[in-house]
Structure 1
Amino acid sequence: MITILSIETATKNCSVSLSVTGEVIACKEIAEENFSHAEKLHVFIEELLKENNKTLKDLSAIAISQGPGSYTGLRIGVSSVKGLCYGLSIPLIALDTLEILARQIKVDQGYIVPMLDARRMEVFSVLFDKDYVRQGDIEAIVIDENSFSKHADRTLHLIGDGAMKCQEVLSGDNFVYYPEVTYPSAREMGEIAYQKYLKEDFVDVAYFEPFYLKDFVLIQKKK
């Protein structure tokens, strides 16, 4: 029985799930404007294990959402799971944050376009087909009316907190929005993590770093 703890902290959503043989059996999460990951993450882990009659020693591996996303959120999540994996001597599995978000919807045609809010009109994004196969490289894209113009003949399913600010700019008939899908969640991590576990697709606990995509920029408030 493969038991995996999955952690998603790449956005404002602090999300933790527990899965057994790829099936998510429980999840705890909270999305707050002021990041509460440092306060909530370990509490969620402890509660989730206790409520499901598990202990840390029952874990086969831990999966982490690797980014892109919030520098602070990613740093908190990754440092926490590295400490746990090292102490428990279990594998660490890294998952693509945008794929985790993309898996919240199912489509029959076109592309799924998960978008994570960056700054101003910039988003972190990449396209996935209906089978969640990534099309190209993840990019930081500044959105304008010409964005995704080469895919004008396809239906584009836009999701995530970055998609919401694009509605006035990307208003063509081929754009479909899902306002109910805002943040990636650990609920979608169980099956992906399980498949990676079976392939022994692990990362080096000592050297693994989040995928920030862009350098951290400190923004100072005006006095």
Structure 2
Amino acid sequence: MNLLLSLETSSPVCSVALHRVADGALIGQSELRLDKSHSTHLTVLIEQLLENTGHRLADLSAVAVSDGPGSYTGLRIGGAAAKGLCFALDIPLVAVSTLRAMAAQVAAGTAHPEKFWYCPMLDARRTEVYAAIYTHEGQEVLAPTPLLLDADTLAEQLAHHSVLFFGHGAAKFRAVLGEHSNAGFLAGIEPSAISVGQLGVAAFHRQEFQDVAYYEPFYLKEVYTTTPKAK
């Protein structure tokens, strides 16, 4: 059986899923909501998912990985695992935008999805978030970007469209925006390997593959570091 394995490690949720390549059907999914667990638990989740669904690594036709933005460390772990599997099995690597996958996830569960634009927001420290805006069909309205949040952020978009905000950075925007007739906020939405896999299957059929040797996640910003104090 030809399967696509998807990995989502851009947030504190470590998530893996299996989809059938032929029709995109979900075969199985597993996740662990334990902060800073990706490095020790990702390969275990993959092994358990394959075992529980009665499959082997040899059944994989491709691996899809959440491409970012998100946690620098998490993205590196997911990217390294995906590249290792693709290299060892000689199969293609598919990269899926974390924000686009979140938007697709919410749009799929929204009544009359065409009435809204979808704005996933991921926390990027202090008053900043990683954000993008998509239509219900996945068309990009605002490319992924770091946004500094204040009461006027996305004022132009909100003036003319109803926008749904979600992700673990959306609460920060709600606090500075206040009440707005065109802004809706959804709680409890986290990146998921299921939506990564759904978009990954579509990209697989379009043959949108990454170079396994040179692939790097889409960090969007340089990693945040501090300079050690001199002794």
Q: TM-score range by the shorter chain?
A: over 0.9
Amino acid at match of 1:148: L
TM-score by length of 1: 0.94
Question: Runs ≥4 in structure 1, deviation > 3 angstroms?
Answer: 219-222
- Residue from 142, 146, 156 that aligns with 1:150: 156
Matches within 5 A, 1:63-74: 63-74=64-75
Q: Which runs of 5+ in 1 are unaligned?
A: none
1:209 positional shift: 0.3
Matches within 5 A, 1:114-193: 114-151=120-157, 152-171=159-178, 172-181=180-189, 183-193=190-200
Matches within 5 A, 1:56-135: 56-106=57-107, 107-135=113-141
C-alpha distance in structure 2 between counterparts of 1:157 and 1:120, whole Å: 22
Match of 2:31 in 1: 29
Contact 1:23 1:190 in 2 (8 A): no
Amino acid at match of 1:81: A
C-alpha distance in structure 1 between counterparts of 2:19 and 2:146, whole Å: 32
Q: Which runs of 5+ in 2 are unaligned?
A: 108-112
Secondary structure, counterpart of 1:161 in structure 2: coil
1:214 positional shift: 0.5
Write the deviation string for residues 67-93 of structure 1: whole angstroms up to 9, x where unpaired: 111110001110111111001000000
Write the deviation string for residues 56-112 of structure 1: whole angstroms up to 9, x where unpaired: 010000000011111100011101111110010000000000011112212231310
1:190 positional shift: 2.4
Q: What is the RMSD computed on CA atoms of the aligned residues? A: 1.5
Contact 2:17 2:30 in 1 (8 A): yes
TM-score by length of 2: 0.91
Question: Matched residues, percent identical?
Answer: 39
Contact 2:9 2:77 in 1 (8 A): yes
C-alpha distance in structure 2 between counterparts of 1:10 and 1:145, whole Å: 27
Contact 2:121 2:131 in 1 (8 A): yes
C-alpha distance in structure 1 between counterparts of 2:30 and 2:228, whole Å: 33
Secondary structure, counterpart of 2:176 in structure 1: coil
- Residue from 207, 211, 216 that aligns with 2:218: 211
Contact 2:98 2:196 in 1 (8 A): no
1:26 positional shift: 0.9
C-alpha distance in structure 2 between counterparts of 1:149 and 1:221, whole Å: 40
